[in-house]
A and B are shown apart, each in its own frame.
Chain A
Amino acid sequence: MNLDSISFYFFAALAVISAILVVTRRNAVHSAIFLVTALLATAGIFLQLHAEFLFIVQVILYVGGIMVLFIFVIMLVNLDVAARQMQFNRMWLVALSLTVALGAQVYMVFHYAHSGVMEALFRLPAAPAAALEPNAEAVGISLFTEYMLPFEVASVLLLVAMIGAVVMAKRKV
């Protein structure tokens, strides 16, 4: 019961509970707030996995950028009429069967994990006793040497998305 496990279980519980609340709330703004907590819990999981740069990128981009955009749009299109109507459609049977399928996958994961030979492979390496190696520098170096092409393609993608969003939301094209 060390800090590692406690923080994992805390963030995991927070993430799952927030996710369930996201999907079940009637009011869209409440869903958005719970999605913010789910994303923050995910960022906590990243930090617990020693991925500190990804933790802060998640907070800045996802929580500080994408969710603000969501909340803006919810406020622009928020209809009281929509909140009073039925929130769930008739596809609950499909959702149930998908859940059963994915739950079967969980069972398979458990089954393989405890079958002896894979056990040693699956254990996460312990943290080094000294300070962790700097993660941001490693990600930066990797991003600018090995993954340079996807980096440039991602920037072109963002440019295209920016232009698309501006054109989409203009009143008169």
Chain B
Amino acid sequence: MLETIYTFFKPHLLPLLYALVIVAVLPLLAGYVVLLERKVMADMQARLGPMRVGPHGLLQPIADAVKLLMKEDIIPESADKWIFWLAPLLSVTAGMVAMAALPFGPVFQIANLNVGLLFILGVGSMGIYGIVLGGWASNSHYSLLGALRSAAQLVSYETAAGMAVVSGVILGGTLNTSALVNVQADQHVWFIFVAPIGFFLYLVASIAETNRAPFDLPEAESELVAGYMTEYSGFRWALYFLAEYTNMIVVASIATTLFLGGWLRPFAGTKAFNFLDYVPMLLMLLVAGYSLYRAPKQPVPIQKMVMVAVAGLCFGLAAILAAPVFIKTGIIGAMMPGVHGAFWFLFKVGIYLYVFLWLRFTFPRYRFDQLMKLGWHFLIPVSIVNVFGVAIASYLHRTEENGGHGWNLWAAILLTTAITFVIAAWLAKKGDRPPAGPVTAEKF
């Protein structure tokens, strides 16, 4: 009996372990992304951000989590209790299930689906239900308006994001996430250089998909209280927040896989750049050294201990990253693609998230009609033209026996990107002109 259960589960044990690691680490990671956001916001506003709770605010997410867990759980009287309970759950579940197909490294992937990219997009779009049902179940005007606006925004920008992804998939020739990274490794070029407009479109669309500024009207505090999250308090609100940051990590991972080369080191194929293999280890040592340097300067002993613990953690990570580089044989040497791949993937996701945060604190908010106009009148036409452009470039570049014309890659890309850019500029200019007034009789 026990053997049958074991043989039944055996092929699934490793993915289960990965899934457990991701589900366990994700709330912590999302909490620290919140802390990172507050620190980056403070840096851009010439102040320091959270400094008190841990050294440099490092224990702030834990304090926030404890506070939110202990808050009173208020449910509005006339709310639909069952849907009120279900809505945050849907958002979080959609985000976490989407993380099942993300390729964190050549080895560390829960499910290598053949339609992986589409799976992530599709399941990620189920987060809309969490928003719409949450707004409706709260039985309040602000919530419903915010929910409907947010859902309309998400649906509009999903088309543009999907088309941008299609332009990347044309280059990759497959929807399989690992295969996409392998194609970028084989061709020694990241797709961002081949389809830069596609990357830009995906960047803008993904900011709107995750309800981040400057597209965050549905949850802006000065507009609709908190939009669909108004009536949610304590842990339910924490779940919505977790869902938002999980979505951010998911879209950053899609962009990294498709456009930024996934888990590849920069210049992965070139032997001359092998010195870049030492970079992860050096980065970790730098952080550890800085923590040790700041440790004696902390005001309180417990903060000193936390800094030393952080330094110890970074030393440990540096050792893990250094081991496969120095010991090139045996099982430790074989861990090299896995460990370094995961590092480079998370590094690129971090850069993408930094761009998200940077844009949040730089641009003012879009008004809702401007938002919809941008989505429908600019992004979708440009993304369609971009798909045409990338397809034509791919056709021109293909060798003669494969049915193409054998142009040089960069010549084809330059031509089609220039045409797409001209059309996009014309569309943007057209959008700036004030709309024509109603046709009156005097004109004729």
Residues of chain A having any CB pair with chain B under 8 Å: 3, 27, 29-30, 33, 36, 52-53, 55-56, 59-60, 63-65, 67-68, 71-72, 75, 132, 134-137
Over the window 107-129 of chain B, the binary record of Cβ atoms lying under 8 Å from chain A Cβ atoms (1 yes, 0 no) is 00000011100110111011011
- Judged by a CB distance under 8 angstroms, whether B213 is at the interface is no
Given the complex, which residues of B lie within 8 Å of A56, measured CB to CB? Answer: 115, 118-119, 122
Min Cβ gap A88→B in Å is: 22
Cβ contacts A to B, 16 pairs, < 8 Å: A3-B8, A27-B80, A29-B83, A29-B136, A30-B82, A33-B86, A52-B113, A60-B121, A60-B125, A64-B125, A68-B151, A71-B129, A72-B132, A72-B148, A75-B136, A136-B118
Collect the chain A residues with CB atoms within 8 Å of residue B144's CB. Answer: 75
Contact B115 A59 (CB under 8 A): no
A-B contact count (CB 8 A): 63
Chain B residues close to A by CB (< 8 Å)? 8, 80, 82-83, 86, 113-115, 118-119, 121-123, 125-126, 128-129, 132-133, 136, 144, 148, 151, 155, 158, 174-175
Q: Which of A56, A75, A135 has the most CB of B within 10 A?
A: A56
Contact of B115 with A60 in the complex, beta carbons under 8 Å? no
Q: Could you tell me if B128 and A68 are in contact, using CB atoms closer than 8 angstroms? A: yes
**A63 to B129 alpha-carbon distance, docked (Å):** 9
- Please give the distance in Å from A27's CB to the nearest CB on chain B: 8
Secondary structure dominating the interface of B = helix
Across the interface, which residues of A come within 8 angstroms of B8, CB to CB? 3
Find chain A residues with CB under 8 A from B158 CB. 64
**Residues from chain B with Cβ under 8 Å of A75 in the complex:** 132, 136, 144, 148
Known: A29-B83, A71-B132, A75-B144. A59 touches B114 (CB 8 A): no
Q: A52-B115, A64-B122 are in contact. Are A136 and B128 (CB under 8 A)?
A: no
Which chain A residues lie closer than 8 Å to B114 at the CB level?
A: 52, 132, 134-136
**When chains A and B are docked, how far (Å) is the Cα of A56 from the Cα of B118?**
7
A75-B83 Cα distance, complex, nearest whole Å: 14
Contacts of A134 in B (CB 8 A): 114
Q: Closest CB of chain B to A38's CB: distance in Å?
A: 14
Closest 4 CB pairs of A and B: A60-B122, A64-B125, A59-B122, A56-B118
Contact partner of B126 (CB less than 8 A), chosen from A30, A33, A63, is A63
Nearest A residue to B127 via CB reads: A64
Decide: B132 and A68 in contact? CB cutoff 8 A. yes
* A65–B41 alpha-carbon span in the complex (Å): 36
Q: Is B128 within 8 A of A72, CB to CB?
A: no
In the bound complex, residues from chain A placing their C-beta under 8 Å from that of B113 are: 52
A135 and B151 alpha carbons, distance in the complex (Å)? 32
CB A15 to nearest CB in B, in angstroms, measures 18
Complex alpha-carbon distance, A60 and B115, angstroms = 12
Q: Which residues of B contact A29 (CB under 8 A)?
A: 80, 83, 133, 136
Q: How far is the CA of A33 from the CA of B87 in the complex (A)?
A: 11
Q: Shortest CB–CB separation between residue A148 and chain B, in angstroms? A: 16
Contact call A59/B133, Cβ cutoff below 8 A? no
| Most A-side CB within 10 Å, residue of B113, B158, B175 | B175
Per the bound structure, the CA–CA distance linking A30 and B133 in Å amounts to: 10
In the bound assembly, the distance between CA atoms of A135 and B115 in angstroms comes to: 9
| Residue ID in chain B nearest A68 by CB atoms | B128
Cβ contacts under 8 Å, A68 to chain B: 128-129, 132, 151, 155
Cβ-defined partner of B151 (8 Å) among A3, A53, A72, A137: A72
Nearest CB of A to B2, in Å = 16
Residues of the A chain whose Cβ atoms lie less than 8 Å from the Cβ of B80 = 27, 29
**Of the residues B121, B123, B148, B175, contact of A136 by C-beta under 8 Å:** B175
In the assembled complex, how far is the CB of residue B442 from the closest CB belonging to chain A, in whole angstroms?
22
Interface centre among B82, B128, B144 (most CB of A within 10 A): B128
Identify the closest chain A residue to B159 (Cβ).
Answer: A65
Nearest Cβ in chain A — how far from B148, in angstroms? 7
CB-CB nearest in chain A for B124: A64
B136 nearest in chain A by CB position: A75
Give me 18 other A-B pairs in contact (C-beta within 8 A), A3-B8, A33-B86, A136-B175 excluded.
A30-B82, A30-B83, A52-B115, A53-B115, A55-B115, A56-B115, A60-B118, A60-B121, A60-B122, A63-B122, A64-B126, A67-B129, A71-B129, A71-B133, A71-B136, A75-B144, A135-B114, A137-B174
- A64 engages B83 (CB within 8 Å): no
Which A residue sits closest to B155, measured CB to CB?
A: A68
A36 to B129, Cβ gap below 8 A? yes
